[in-house]
Amino acid sequence: MKAPRAVSKRQAEIVLISGLSGSGKSHAANALEDLGFFCVDNLPTKLLPDFVDFLKSSAIPRAGLVVDMREPGFVAHFGRAFEKLKRQSLKISLIFLEASDPALIRRFSETRRAHPLAPHQPVRQGLREERQALTSVRRLADLILDTSSLSVHQLRGYIQEHFDDGMGDHGLVLTVLSFGFKLGLPTEADLVFDVRFLKNPHFDPRLRRLTGLDPKVVRFLKRAPGTVEFQSKLLAFLSFVVPKYVEEGKAYLTIAIGCTGGRHRSVMIARQVADELAEIEGVTIRLRHRDIKQK
């Protein structure tokens, strides 16, 4: 483990990482460790109170803990332990990582590892049991991330974008995410907006190879019927509801904006939304275009 970097005194922070076997929990912990978190893998749930006491009395301000089904009785004990932690005087969040069965089966095949719940059975059987068992843990998560299409480097970048807060507490971390419906809904989304009703630049040969970041596409969309009106109504709604999330104390919020392919309309709208919401006090904006490089 890397030694945590020296930081100024602030409220202790714990990030819990849980989820399906093979979904990337170890890679997520490594990303946190690179940010200066003190990381522990597979800490027994019963030791969480002792670890919190240790954290509060030490010079370690930020810790990442991987907790999952490798611990016998994990699901039975985790919910109550997590609720107790949330009543402590520290900043705590739970990340839940998951992926599709084909992606997880491929990863197990590549590493030649057996699933921890099905050492002598097909991996698919273990995944089925694990998904069902972890339903209650998933419901508690502050951030749910589907890693099916993420490389190790993309997962690392995503985690670091969310938790590299410099030295201070930035309140609500708000991710504005553009995506393409044909490539699947983002499971981490809290709010989803469909902009497929807007005129599609894809059908203009001059714009097809460009993206929603290009001024020509932006100009095309702003001139199209309904775009400016929709932008105004969407921003009015978000300008009202996002501060409510800040007041509630929510740590993470993902607003997903989707079009067909995720390259034009959703990108343009997401960029504007991110720019406008950045003015809200207590919010740190992360802008991500999931499918912009897809053809």
With beta carbons less than 8 A apart as the criterion, state whether 147 and 24 touch: yes
State the average pLDDT over residues 264-277: 95
Lowest mean pLDDT among 70-74, 178-182, 269-273: 70-74
Render pLDDT for 179-228 as a digit per residue (tens, 0 to 9). Answer: 999 988 888 889 999 999 999 999 999 999 999 999 999 999 999 999 99
Residue 4 maps to a domain: no
The predicted structure's pLDDT at residue 6: 40
Pairwise CA distance, residues 236 & 281, whole Å: 16
CATH of the domain at 143: 3.40.50.300
> CB-based contacts of 30: which residues, under 8 Å, 6+ apart?
39, 156
Report yes or no on 8 lying in a domain.
no
Does residue 80 share a domain with residue 131?
Answer: yes
Residue finishing a domain among 169, 195, 217: 169
Convert the pLDDT of each residue in 131-144 to its tens digit: 999 999 999 998 89
pLDDT the model gives residue 125: 87
- pLDDT digit string (tens) for 20-67? 999 999 999 999 998 889 999 998 998 988 888 888 788 788 899 999
Domain closes at, from 145, 169, 193: 169
Using the Cα atoms of residue 156, residue 159, residue 161 and residue 164 in order, give the sign of their dihedral.
negative
Q: How far apart are CA 20 and CA 97, in angstroms?
A: 6
pLDDT recorded at residue 121: 78
Parent domain of 125: 13-169
Cα–Cα distance for residue pair 223/292, rounded to 1 Å: 22
Q: Which of 110, 141, 169 is the last residue of a domain?
A: 169
- How many separate domains does the chain show? 2
Closest residue by Cα to residue 17 from 47, 49, 40: 40
One domain, residues 70 and 180:
no
Mean pLDDT of 268-279: 94
Residue 93 and residue 205 share a domain: no
Instruction: Give me the pLDDT at residue 85, please.
Output: 86
DSSP 8-state symbol, 24: S
| Predicted pLDDT of residue 56 | 79
How large is the average pLDDT for residues 162-182? 78
- Which residues sit opposite 143 in a β-bridge? 95
Q: How far apart are CA 103 and CA 22, in angstroms?
A: 9
Asked if 23 and 57 touch (Cβ cutoff 8 Å), the reply is no
Q: Which of 57-66, 165-174, 243-252, 282-291 has the lowest mean pLDDT?
A: 165-174
User: Average of pLDDT values for 95-119?
Assistant: 85
Residue 10 confidence (pLDDT): 57
Spatial CA neighbour of 251 closest among 29, 9, 24, 15 = 15
How far is Cα 177 from Cα 119, in angstroms, rounded to an integer?
Answer: 38
The predicted model gives 256-281 an average pLDDT of 94
Cα–Cα distance for residue pair 178/268, rounded to 1 Å = 9
Residue 2's pLDDT is what?
42
Q: Look up residue 25 and give its amino acid.
A: K
Q: Is the pLDDT of residue 123 over 90?
A: no
Tokens of 158: 């995503």
Cα–Cα distance between 175 and 162 in angstroms, integer? 8
Long-range contacts of 22-27 (CB under 8 A, 24+ apart): 22/99, 22/104, 22/107, 22/108, 22/113, 22/115, 23/97, 23/98, 23/99, 23/104, 23/147, 24/97, 24/99, 24/147, 24/150, 24/152, 24/155, 25/66, 25/68, 25/97, 26/66, 27/152, 27/155, 27/156
Rounded average pLDDT over 6-25: 79
> How far apart (Å, rounded) are the C-alpha atoms in residues 286 and 175?
5
What's residue 111's pLDDT? Answer: 73
Tell me, yes or no, whether 177 and 163 share the same domain: no
* 5 domain residue, yes or no: no
Q: What is the pLDDT of residue 67?
A: 93
**The two structure tokens encoding residue 241:** 């509801």
Arithmetic mean of pLDDT over the chain: 87
